[in-house]
Amino acid sequence: MNYTEMIYLFLLIMHLYCVTRYCIGNIITYDDHFSPFEKFKWFLIVLFLPYAGYIIYLKIVSKRNRERIAANEESLTRLDS
């Protein structure tokens, strides 16, 4: 795991903590403008949207790594022959 991934993971953990504290402390208990379903829906959207971004980021990085490994293997086979 490189520094970028470690920083991103730390930010996701802090996001989870802050969103949970804010939603439980303010929106769910005090705000009567939204129905409970609306509150829960926005809680889930705000909570899981960064994690979806992190998963997409990991897929892009793993694709780049696979391409890099394939290029390295191809260059090694050319050197062997």
Pairwise CA distance, residues 36 & 48, whole Å:
18
What pLDDT is attached to residue 31? 60
CB–CB of 43/23 below 8 Å? Answer: yes
CB–CB of 4/57 below 8 Å? Answer: no
Q: Count how many domains the chain has.
A: 1
Residue with tokens 């086979």: 77
Q: What is the pLDDT along the chain (81 residues), one digit of tens a residue?
A: 677 778 878 888 888 787 777 776 666 566 667 677 777 777 777 778 777 877 888 888 888 888 888 888 888 787 776
What pLDDT is attached to residue 45? 78
Residue-range definition of the domain harbouring residue 18: 3-80
What pLDDT is attached to residue 66? 85
Residue with tokens 């520094």: 3
Question: Nearest to residue 5, comparing CAs of 42, 41, 48, 59?
Answer: 59
